Amino acid sequence: MTAHIEIKDVVKRFGAVTVIDHLSLSIDPNEFMVFLGPSGCGKSTLLRMIAGLESVDEGTISINGQRIDNLPPGQRDIAMVFQSYALYPHMTVADNMAFGLRNIGVAADVISARVTEAGRMLEIGHLMDRKPGQLSGGQRQRVAIGRAIVKEPKAFLFDEPLSNLDAALRVRTRVELAQLRHRVKSTMIFVTHDQIEAMTLADRIVVMNNRKIEQIGTPMEIYSRPATRFVATFVGSPAMNFVDATLDRSGGNIIARFAGGVSVETDIGSNQLADGKYTFGIRSEDVRVAPTGQGTTEGVVDVLERLGERTLVYARLADGQQIVGSAAGNSPVVVGDRVGLAFDGTKSHLFNDAGHAWHARGV
């Protein structure tokens, strides 16, 4: 059986400090949900509250309609994979995976069948007789995941399980996890501060910041239509470009006007926004680097990031603001060049002083 997890109006305090503030969230059966946010935003605390490793001060947590926040961890039918592997060094891989089942008296033939199947799914069947000291970091992490799989829980909780791996191994293990979630039919919650992990693995992402949820959505909803300026900054590499703007409502669409007489028609209806201060936002891929005299404005190149398939161009505008645009991977642009920057107004965003967003129809 898989889990429908319902979190209602949950509060967590450590002394006088509130770290989760009246948070509500519903996680569907078989969903891979990622909690994404900076250090200290409350994502690991929320995960530990679901697992029973932290108490709930207010609110409720339920699985399939049954309240669990008042149950001890062992009665919640949840398996957790931690950042550290926590394997027994004197035991073989098979024994590490079987240990928890033996402790609760599961029959030997059932344990053997579950361990064998988990080894097959994780492609570590050939490692069963080895001990953790004979394994690579990625192999140890797969054993830790296998130890969770054999419990056949209603839900899996992953607390930054890839953070101890080096860069190349992290990429490989991330792909393996993406494949695994299609083989193991269960609800999964994954905590990370790494946006690439979130975008790769999630059915939906919960972006958290400062004790609360900023936005819930699919990876591309989060990326293309960020609900707040924080989300637009945190998700995407490089972060979204922001330029202070005044709004011209004289036509059907809002025209954003910048310092120096530069303007962009935003494809945002002129009747959508109230009066006030706004910031114009646009992703780097929607700012095309062009020859001087062409495009929306011009800037002087400060930095180039050559990524192979494209080149990120960091250009300084006349008023000192920096804009990141995109050029071809083999672009001849060099630092110090003056370039044109063509903004695609159909992919633009506007943010008010409170950080709330409005989006062009095309995004």
Distance, in Å, from the CA atom of 200 to the CA atom of 172, rounded to the nearest integer, reads: 12
pLDDT digits (tens, 9 = 90+) for 57-67: 999 999 999 99
107: left (phi over 0), alpha (psi -120 to 50) or beta: beta
Q: Considering the domain 5-228 in this protein, what is its CATH number?
A: 3.40.50.300
pLDDT of 223 reads 96
pLDDT of 80 reads 87
CATH 3.40.50.300 domain extents, the chain = 5-228
Query: What's the pLDDT band for 1 if we cut at 50, 70, 90?
Result: low
Full-prediction pTM beyond 0.85?
yes
Q: Which fold has domain 241-359?
A: OB fold (Dihydrolipoamide Acetyltransferase, E2P) (2.40.50)
Mean pLDDT of 279-290: 95
Among 104-113, 160-169, 264-273, top mean pLDDT goes to: 104-113
Rounded mean pLDDT of the chain?
90
Does the bond joining 238 to the residue before it have cis omega, within 30 degrees of 0? yes
pLDDT digits (tens, 9 = 90+) for 184-217: 788 999 999 889 899 999 999 999 998 899 999 9
**Is the pLDDT reported for residue 71 higher than 70?**
yes
**Is the pLDDT reported for residue 337 higher than 70?**
yes
Burial 73-94 (b: 16+ CB within 10 A, else e): eeebbbbbbebebebeeeebbb
pLDDT digits (tens, 9 = 90+) for 163-189: 777 777 778 778 878 877 777 788 999
Mean pLDDT of 247-258: 85
CATH 2.40.50.140 domain extents, the chain = 241-359
Give every CB contact of residue 112 below 8 A, 6+ residues apart in sequence: 98
